[in-house]
Amino acid sequence: METVPDVLTRVQELLRPESYRKLHWEGTFEEYLQIFQQNPRVARSAFQRLYDMILSYGYEWIEDGKDQLIRYRFFYSPPFAPEDAVYGLERHLMQLVNIFKAAARGYGPERRVILLHGPVGSSKSTIVRLLKRGLEEYSKTDEGALYSFSWIPIEIDPDDWYRTPDSSVLHPCPINEEPLKLIPTEVRDVILEEVNRRLPDDQQIFVEGDLCPPCRFMYRELMRKYQGDWNRVIRHVRVRRLILSEKDRVGIGTFQPKDEKNQDSTELTGDINYRKIAIYGSDSDPRAFNFDGEFCVANRGLIEFIEVLKLDVAFLYDLLGASQEHLIKPKKFAQTYIDEVIIGHSVAGWTPIPYRFRGVPGWATIESLYERFARDPSGLEVLAWDDAGRVRWTRVRSIFRHRFSGDMLTTSQKWGVVETTPNHAIYDRDGHVFYPEDRHEILAVRRFDEPFVAESVRAIDVVAGIEGFVTHEVRLAVGGGPMTRPARPGWARLALPRHATEVRAIYDVVDDEDALKDLITVLVWYASEGHVNGRNGGIVITQSDRNELERVRAAYQRITTGSGFIDVGAKTDSAWRLYLGSQAIARLAVHHCGKYSHHKRLAGFPLRATDDVPRPRLQRAYEDGRVAARASAYRVDGFARLSGAVLRI
Q: What is the pLDDT of residue 336?
A: 95
Please check whether residue 236 lies inside any domain of the structure.
no
CA gap 531, 251 in Å, rounded: 71
Q: Over 60: is that where the pLDDT of 389 sits?
A: no
Q: What is the pLDDT of residue 311?
A: 77
CB-based contacts of 221, cutoff 8 Å, min separation 6: 154
Q: What is the pLDDT of residue 382?
A: 83
Report phi then psi at 490, rounded to 5. Answer: 90, -5
Lowest mean pLDDT among 184-193, 275-284, 595-604, 629-638: 629-638
CA gap 217, 220 in Å, rounded: 5
**What count of residues does the chain have?**
649
Task: Read off the pLDDT of each residue in 622-639 and give the average, rounded to a whole number.
Answer: 42
> Are 517 and 624 in the same domain?
yes
More confident residue, 25 or 567: 25
Position 240 confidence tier, pLDDT thresholds 50, 70, 90: very high
Please check whether residue 528 lies inside any domain of the structure.
yes
> Are 420 and 483 in the same domain?
no
Q: What is the pLDDT of residue 581?
A: 83
Q: Over 80: is that where the pLDDT of 220 sits?
A: yes
Q: What is the pLDDT of residue 645?
A: 41
Position 41 confidence tier, pLDDT thresholds 50, 70, 90: very high
297-354 pLDDT, tens per residue? 999 999 999 888 777 777 888 898 999 999 999 988 989 999 999 999 886 545 567 7
CB-based contacts of 644, cutoff 8 Å, min separation 6: none
Positive or negative, the CA dihedral 102, 108, 111, 113 is negative
Q: What is the pLDDT of residue 103?
A: 95
**CB contact at 8 A, 156 and 169:** yes
- Burial annotation 22-37 (CB, 10 A radius, 16+ → b, else e): eeeebeebeebbebbe
141-173 pLDDT, tens per residue? 999 999 999 999 999 999 999 999 999 999 999
Query: How many CA within 13 A on the CB side of residue 313?
Result: 0
Domain that holds residue 397: 350-401
Q: Over 70: is that where the pLDDT of 609 sits?
A: no
Q: Over 50: is that where the pLDDT of 638 sits?
A: no
Q: What is the pLDDT of residue 482?
A: 46
> Are 609 and 638 in the same domain?
yes
Which range in 180-184, 376-380, 558-562 is most confidently predicted, on average pLDDT?
180-184
Please check whether residue 554 lies inside any domain of the structure.
yes
Please check whether residue 173 lies inside any domain of the structure.
no
Position 192 confidence tier, pLDDT thresholds 50, 70, 90: very high
CA gap 435, 1 in Å, rounded: 41
Q: Over 60: is that where the pLDDT of 293 sits?
A: yes
> Are 464 and 610 in the same domain?
yes
Q: Over 70: is that where the pLDDT of 461 sits?
A: yes
pTM of the model: 0.58
Q: Over 70: is that where the pLDDT of 236 sits?
A: yes
Task: Read off the pLDDT of each residue in 567-590 and give the average, rounded to a whole number.
Answer: 81
Please check whether residue 324 lies inside any domain of the structure.
no
CA gap 518, 139 in Å, rounded: 65
More confident residue, 421 or 242: 242
Q: What is the CATH number of the domain that holds 573?
A: 3.10.28.10
Q: What is the pLDDT of residue 244?
A: 97
> Are 502 and 521 in the same domain?
yes
More confident residue, 339 or 266: 339
Q: What is the pLDDT of residue 87?
A: 87
Integer angstrom CA distances of residue 323 from 96, 102, 111, 629 = 17, 15, 5, 65
Q: What is the pLDDT of residue 351?
A: 59
> Are 367 and 388 in the same domain?
yes
Q: Over 70: is that where the pLDDT of 641 sits?
A: no
Task: Read off the pLDDT of each residue in 31-50 and give the average, rounded to a whole number.
Answer: 96
CA gap 462, 649 in Å, rounded: 19
**CB contact at 8 A, 167 and 149:** no
Task: Write down which residue in 388, 422, 452 finishes a domain.
Answer: 452
CA gap 308, 302 in Å, rounded: 15
Domain count, the chain: 3
More confident residue, 437 or 267: 267
Please check whether residue 356 lies inside any domain of the structure.
yes
3-class DSSP state of 485 = coil
> Are 416 and 510 in the same domain?
no
Position 392 confidence tier, pLDDT thresholds 50, 70, 90: confident
Integer angstrom CA distances of residue 343 from 90, 113, 128, 255, 414 = 19, 6, 8, 11, 20
Integer angstrom CA distances of residue 536 from 28, 554, 556 = 81, 21, 17
64 Rama sector, left if φ>0, alpha if ψ -120 to 50, beta otherwise:
beta
Tell me which residue of 420, 417, 373, 368 sits closest to 397, measured CA to CA. 373
> Are 416 and 490 in the same domain?
no
Q: Over 50: is that where the pLDDT of 8 sits?
A: yes
CA gap 223, 642 in Å, rounded: 101
Please check whether residue 421 lies inside any domain of the structure.
yes
Name the amino acid, one letter, at 407. D
> Which residues pair with residue 71 across a beta bridge?
60
Which range in 109-113, 145-149, 161-165, 443-447 is most confidently predicted, on average pLDDT?
145-149
> Which residues pair with residue 418 across a beta bridge?
411
Average pLDDT over all residues of the chain: 80
Q: Over 50: is that where the pLDDT of 453 sits?
A: no
CA angle 533, 534, 540 (to 5 degrees): 10
> Are 426 and 548 in the same domain?
no
> Are 499 and 481 in the same domain?
yes
Tell me which residue of 317, 327, 332, 219 sits closest to 283, measured CA to CA. 332
195-218 pLDDT, tens per residue? 999 999 889 999 999 999 999 999
Please check whether residue 360 lies inside any domain of the structure.
yes
Q: Over 80: is that where the pLDDT of 3 sits?
A: no
Q: Over 70: is that where the pLDDT of 472 sits?
A: no
Task: Write down which residue in 368, 386, 401 finishes a domain.
Answer: 401
> Are 504 and 555 in the same domain?
yes
**CB contact at 8 A, 490 and 359:** yes
Position 455 confidence tier, pLDDT thresholds 50, 70, 90: very low
Q: Over 50: is that where the pLDDT of 640 sits?
A: no
Which range in 39-48, 113-122, 303-312 is most confidently predicted, on average pLDDT?
39-48
> Are 431 and 561 in the same domain?
no
Q: Over 60: is that where the pLDDT of 402 sits?
A: no
Q: What is the DSSP string of 363-378?
A: EE-HHHHHHHHSS--T
Provide Rg for the chain, Cα atoms.
Answer: 35
